[in-house]
Amino acid sequence: MEQLTHLYRWLFDSRSGEGKSLAPRWLFLRALGAIYFSAFFSLAFQIKGLIGPSGVLPAWQYLAAVAHYLSASRYWSAPSLFWISAGPHMLMAVVWIGLLASVLVFFNVWPRLNLFICFVCFLSFVAAAGDFSGYQSDGMLLEAGFLALFFAPPGLLPGFGADHPPSRASLFLLLWEWFRIYFESGMVKILSGDVQWRNLTAMDGYYQNSPLPTWIGWYVGHLPHWFQAATTVLTLVLEFGIVLMVFFPRRVRLVCFWIVTPWQIGVILTGNYTFLNYLVAALGLLLLDDFSLRHLIPARFRPRVPVEDVKAGPESAASLPERLRAVGVAVAAVLLTWVAYTTTVEMGAMVLSRVPLPLAPVKVLEPFRIANQYGLFAVMTRGRYEIEFQGSNDGTNWQPYLFRYKPQLLNEAPRIYAPYQPRFDWNLWFASLGDWRQSQIVLLTEERLLDNDSDVLNLFRSNPFPQSPPRYVRAVLWQYWFTSMDEKRRTGDWWRRQLLGLYAPTITRAADGEPAAVQMPTELPPHD
């Protein structure tokens, strides 16, 4: 029993650490605070239009449905502060509290407390946002944010936390998350059976068909097929092979860092994937150690921390009593072990239809999104489709609602705005790949536009009907392609497009004031 106690303290008690990752921890936590800030900052301009009382998917309606079907377990199944209130003031209060806490994390002020506040505020949104929070990036941030609670040093102004080195368990699980993001993404590519990965054409249309392209991606998309085939091979090699270097000694991990970090920078420049790639790059900092950072960073920029042999210092007078601290170590041991078990089972389930291990611990953690299954780009889309909302007063002349971030105007260059996350624009890309019946947000948005709802209109760049709402609203579907180099030189256009037809019903207000369909969409050409 005594040996088991020592093992737990060696794994989970930060005071027993050797202090070889102080600078990487400091850098990672600053990056995590900045990423949290980007998440809350983007919500500040969108949350009322997304899940406000008059938004596309009101949070109060979602939570009411959860309460109706789950009754007593509703608070566990949808852990959110919005159970208190889902009104606009509460929504904005949670966002602003999260913003403030993320700034304090960035400036290393009481990091554990403020990371906890960030986690609770972001989880509150994710748990109540329905379709607007079904992204893997949200789970990645919540998982990293939860593990960071055990990774961060205690105290109000801990500095580098030299007397509280990071625990091995939390460091390992953060690197385990980093590894799973890559490795599981490679697994789903093979398990999906998508022939584009097998015949090395997966990248040929990637830059054009990705959710929100960039202008750099436009140019890279015009490079010859041999380049696209080479990057396809390198993607699979990286996700299946290079990331395994995380389990090797420090010199091999440093080589891994210098391969994956430029790769992530390339992804950031060629595609707007919100804060996802920034988070993966930040997790990659943990491949480093104090010694490597000391030699990589110029002397005047080096952190002033004893990086060679930091030992845990004597317990300060402000430390918690030993017994209470032991309870904290035990709680950390249970929670981190639980996460490790759940993530291992989740990864095994990707390959085995039935994992021969208890699944109850996995299901219990699901609502908190702190132990997730990842897998990016399992199947590559073969075309770019864009939904466009239009309004009319006569049913003949239609005016488009301009988006803030989605491709729409042909002569407008795709921009780089990640880590900012435009959730409305992002969701419409997913909706365009299927039928309107599979995506409730399209028809619900049409209904809000019939009312000139100000919160939903703020999700758009402009309102073509500023004086009064239109009589009719519809959603049409376009197919987009990059223009050729020659066409861009001649016309200045980045895109060309073709109208495929009506995507969702054209609606108007009936005599009783309820929305009514006046035209149903016909069968659209097959697209995926």
Determine contact, residues 77/66, Cβ cutoff 8 Å: yes
Helix (H) or strand (E) holding 220, with range, is helix 215-220
Axis-axis angle for helices 136-151, 168-191 (nearest 10): 160
pLDDT of the residue at 352: 75
Answer whether the bond into residue 419 is a cis peptide, omega within 30°. yes
pLDDT of the residue at 18: 40
509-522 pLDDT, tens digit per residue, is 988 888 898 898 87
d(CA 164, CA 425): 43
pLDDT of the residue at 357: 78
CA atoms in the 13 A half-sphere facing the CB of 322: 3
Whether pLDDT at 16 is above 50? no
Residue owning tokens 């016909």: 522
Whether pLDDT at 465 is above 80? yes
Region 287-296 average pLDDT: 82
CA dihedral sign, ordered 190, 250, 331, 120: negative
Determine contact, residues 213/269, Cβ cutoff 8 Å: no
Region 340-361 average pLDDT: 83
Whether pLDDT at 374 is above 70? yes
Which one has a higher pLDDT value, 330 or 211? 211
Whether pLDDT at 65 is above 50? yes
Question: For the chain, what percent of residues have pLDDT higher than 90?
Answer: 75
380-414 pLDDT, tens digit per residue, is 999 999 999 999 999 999 999 999 999 999 999 99
CA dihedral sign, ordered 267, 269, 275, 281: positive
Task: pLDDT band for 316, please (50, 70, 90 cuts).
Answer: very low
Q: Which of 11-20, 185-194, 246-255, 274-283 has the lowest mean pLDDT?
A: 11-20
d(CA 238, CA 260): 8
84-138 pLDDT, tens digit per residue, is 999 999 999 999 999 999 999 999 999 999 999 999 999 999 999 999 998 999 9
Mean pLDDT of the chain: 90
Question: For the chain, what percent of residues have pLDDT higher than 70?
Answer: 90
Whether pLDDT at 354 is above 60? yes
Secondary structure (DSSP) of 231-251: HHHHHHHHHHTGGGGGGS-HH
Q: How far is CA 379 from CA 196, 333, 368, 428, in A?
A: 8, 38, 27, 18
Whether pLDDT at 264 is above 90? yes
pLDDT of the residue at 313: 44
Task: pLDDT band for 20, please (50, 70, 90 cuts).
Answer: confident
Q: Is 526 exposed, middle or buried (0-12, 13-18, 19+ CB in 10 A)?
A: exposed
Query: Which amino acid belongs to residue 443?
Result: L
Whether pLDDT at 336 is above 50? yes
Region 293-308 average pLDDT: 59
Task: pLDDT band for 333, please (50, 70, 90 cuts).
Answer: confident
pLDDT of the residue at 349: 84
Q: Write the CB contacts of 290 (distance below 8 Å, at least 6 apart in sequence).
A: 19, 20, 21, 22, 23, 24, 305, 307, 308, 310
pLDDT of the residue at 299: 62
Q: Which of 7-16, 41-50, 138-147 has the lowest mean pLDDT?
A: 7-16
pLDDT of the residue at 4: 44
